[in-house]
Structure 1
Amino acid sequence: MGEAEKTLYGFPLKWVSLVTLVVQNSALALVMSYSRKAKPPNELSYLVSTAVVMSEFIKLVICFAVYAKEEQALGRLSLQKVLKDLFGRDSHWKKMTVPAVLYFIQNNLQYVAVQYLDPATFQVTYQMKILTTALFSVLMLGRTLSRRKWTSLVLLTLGIALVQMDGKTTEAKSSGMQQFLGLLAVTIACVLSGLAGVWFEKVLKGTQASLFLRNIQLSVFSLIPGLIFGVCLMDGAAVRQDGFFQGYNKWTWGAISCQAIGGLIVALVVKYADNILKGFATSLSIILSSIASIFLFDFKITFLFTVGAGIVLYATHLYGLPDSVPEPKRHNSDTSLAYAPLQQEATELPRFNMRSV
């Protein structure tokens, strides 16, 4: 007899996690964009550096609470055990600093991107992470991609290019420089996401560790540069003058919360669903974001955008399909999604013995 499917209040966890991912993925792009653009003229804008720090802090609290509960259930929770797990000889904490810093920069760039791009264009362009993750996997891990996956990557690039061409024809809403800055920010964010995910896999391959322990380490090493370089150095004067929480409102907290829980939701999807269904969830969130943008941001769906977005959706689905010759069964993880607010892309799942949020 097969293992009984896990449920939550009678609903299969597979579908609960997928629906939650669609809602979160759609909401984050919209809420982040709205929080940056829909500001009353007399009010201060919130500082991106503080928003990223708060997101990491919330993630740290959630992960530590779950980790502590797990350790307490095993009767081994103590301060000495926590410090050993986080910073001991076998904790690999030094290796975690690189992806943590990369994810920190990526999260800041996402706020820049949504300020200059509409949510629909941002969502579609952000699927470039599939391409960067795949390329870094080939270069750094020596992974071989099937012809189908290479085809999907070519289609993905074509679709994103069409969407950006459409953006250049609608510069009445957004100046050429704003469009360029938004595209530059999202491109760099995608490169950093792919590099961080593959680096994470490369340095941790073969290690055994708690899912939440690894994310505690990532949060800690993201908070350090966030507080020092972001809050203190870059925005120190503004924080001293108007406070850490200047410009915060319900939309700011909504963006922070969505960003904080995004990786945790992806972990559930990876655990209880599969990569193909996750790809469908990502595609559906793009469609929902595009529809919502029509009403919230006066977004115009053009023929070029429709064609480009359609190609991206198909490429996302195609990339998630299993190859005809299955690889030996291994434990799966989704390191490219470790810290992504909107990085729930349908990439090939990296293989090593842990799941990272």
Structure 2
Amino acid sequence: MSNSTKSNDISVDISTKQNDITKTNSQSAEKEMNTVSQSIVFRAMVLFQVMAYGSYSVLVHLCERNGSIMFSSTTMNLILEIIKLAFSISILLIESTKTSIDLFNYKSWLRPSLPYAIPGVLYFINNNLAVYIQLQMDPASYQILSNFKIVTTAILYRLIIKQKLTRKQWFAISLLFFSGLFYSLGAISDPTKNDVTQKRRMYIRPLGLPMVFAYCTFSGLAGVYNEWILKKHYSESLHVQNIYLYTYGTLLNLIPSVGIPLLKSQSLSQLNIFKGFSIYTWLIIITQALNGLFMSVVIKHTSNIIRLFVISFSLVVTAVLSVLVFGLTLNIYFFSSFAAMTCALYLYYSK
């Protein structure tokens, strides 16, 4: 046998072994994802996310005074990012001291962290945009238009992740979107008789529509791109990946949250970045910090499609809290939408 033939045989054998290893790693990752998604802890995290998403808008409205949001969105998001970053670093230090210390070496973490700068910027824009959109339209209009993130996320999920969805799954996503839209439209078409506050009147300022379109696009793109990075480096610790992402989030929110108040203050003694904060603001920070940490687990071990169902079912929590806090009366639109969402969930996961 010639040397060239032996060389070719060796190359083929190495290539075959590499393919087998890749296939084995892929199967192991898939098995781990299935195990995580079926655990009780995972389901508890998803349930908490539904509660966190559902309570967010109610808590924000409780922070409003005379139609204005009293706190700085960048300061709120800065504290959120710091909490998540501190938690991720603490857990990593406990689990692996050597790996954690390497993260503080500039040269060791800068290059691998660069891909996370993109979702960091997208989340920075999206999270702050979500607050300022409230000033451009009433809550009902925001609820209707923000449901379009379901469509943008599904489309971007197909384009970026390259994972095909069956017709039944597309139908389930469509049903999910229209059920949320139907619920929102029902809330508008059946207003309370005592319509004396601005939040109960329907209005959209000219800047509101492009802001919502940008919000839905950034939300979908940030979530899907982040999932792509997390799964591309699936063997890497989730805490390390979160540290990369939250570091950029902290830096991006730090500049405006400190810089803007500093420009408005005549001296450092007058600087107050926590101006307008209330107990409801801190509740938003705590719930959304946990929500962000839990969502990273959901995205890495399942998909962004789960996030869509979380967002849709959070409407139920919003409705219940609105009844308790604002005295909202539930109607047929609520119960019809809830039934449609349940059917969508069953259709998407049924084989």
Tell me whether the two structures share a fold, i.e. TM-score over 0.5.
yes
Unaligned runs of 5+ in 1: 325-357
Amino acid at match of 1:225: L
Residue 299 and residue 110 in structure 1: after superposition, are their counterparts in 2 closer, same or farther (change >3 A)?
A: farther
Within the alignment, does 1:132 sit opposite 2:152 as a pair? yes
The 10-residue stretch of structure 1 (287-296 or 222-231) with the greater mean CA deviation from structure 2: 222-231
Amino acid at match of 2:294: I
- Select 1:47's aligned residue among 72, 94, 106: 72
Residue 53 and residue 296 in structure 1: after superposition, are their counterparts in 2 closer, same or farther (change >3 A)?
A: same
Output the CA distance in 2 between the equivalents of 1:125 and 1:220. Answer: 31
1:133-191 deviations in Å (ceiling 9; x for gaps)? 22012223433210011112322332343344345544944343358877765553332
2:52 alignment partner in structure 1: 24
Find the residue that maps to 2:71 and give its secondary structure: coil
Output the CA distance in 2 between the equivalents of 1:44 and 1:242. Answer: 19
TM-score (norm 2): 0.69
Find the residue that maps to 1:49 and give its secondary structure: helix
Unaligned runs of 5+ in 2: 1-31
Shift of 1:282: 5.8
Q: Is the 8 A contact 2:227 2:303 kept in 1?
A: no
Output the CA distance in 2 between the equivalents of 1:58 and 1:295. Answer: 30
Residue 138 and residue 203 in structure 1: after superposition, are their counterparts in 2 closer, same or farther (change >3 A)?
A: same
Shift of 1:228: 2.4
1:218 alignment partner in structure 2: 245
Residue 289 and residue 257 in structure 1: after superposition, are their counterparts in 2 closer, same or farther (change >3 A)?
A: same
Residue 142 and residue 101 in structure 1: after superposition, are their counterparts in 2 closer, same or farther (change >3 A)?
A: same
Find the residue that maps to 2:77 and give its secondary structure: helix
Residue 203 and residue 105 in structure 1: after superposition, are their counterparts in 2 closer, same or farther (change >3 A)?
A: same
Shift of 1:296: 1.3
Residue 155 and residue 180 in structure 1: after superposition, are their counterparts in 2 closer, same or farther (change >3 A)?
A: farther
1:350 alignment partner in structure 2: none
- Select 2:116's aligned residue among 87, 96, 102: 96
2:25 alignment partner in structure 1: none
Shift of 1:58: 1.0
The 10-residue stretch of structure 1 (63-72 or 155-164) with the greater mean CA deviation from structure 2: 155-164
Q: Report how many residues are paired.
A: 304
TM-score (norm 1): 0.68
Residue 281 and residue 155 in structure 1: after superposition, are their counterparts in 2 closer, same or farther (change >3 A)?
A: closer
Find the residue that maps to 2:163 and give its secondary structure: coil
Identity, in percent, stands at 25
For the pair shown, the structure with the greater C-alpha radius of gyration is 2
Output the CA distance in 2 between the equivalents of 1:256 and 1:201. Answer: 23
Find the residue that maps to 1:177 and give its secondary structure: coil
Q: Is the 8 A contact 2:149 2:216 kept in 1?
A: yes
Residue 168 and residue 139 in structure 1: after superposition, are their counterparts in 2 closer, same or farther (change >3 A)?
A: same
Output the CA distance in 1 between the equivalents of 2:213 and 2:319. Answer: 20
Output the CA distance in 2 between the equivalents of 1:63 and 1:121. Answer: 36
Output the CA distance in 1 between the equivalents of 2:321 and 2:207. Answer: 23
Within the alignment, does 1:193 sit opposite 2:219 as a pair? yes
Find the residue that maps to 1:248 and give its secondary structure: coil
1:305-350 deviations in Å (ceiling 9; x for gaps)? 55445434543x146415x3xxxxxxxxxxxxxxxxxxxxxxxxxx
Find the residue that maps to 1:96 and give its secondary structure: helix
Output the CA distance in 2 between the equivalents of 1:292 and 1:192. Answer: 28
Output the CA distance in 2 between the equivalents of 1:271 and 1:96. Answer: 14
Amino acid at match of 2:236: A
- Superposed, 1:135-174 pairs within 5 Å as 135-166=155-186, 168-169=188-189, 170=191, 172=195, 173-174=199-200
Output the CA distance in 2 between the equivalents of 1:213 and 1:158. Answer: 38
Shift of 1:15: 5.2
- Superposed, 1:208-247 pairs within 5 Å as 208-229=235-256, 231-233=258-260, 236-238=262-264, 243-247=272-276
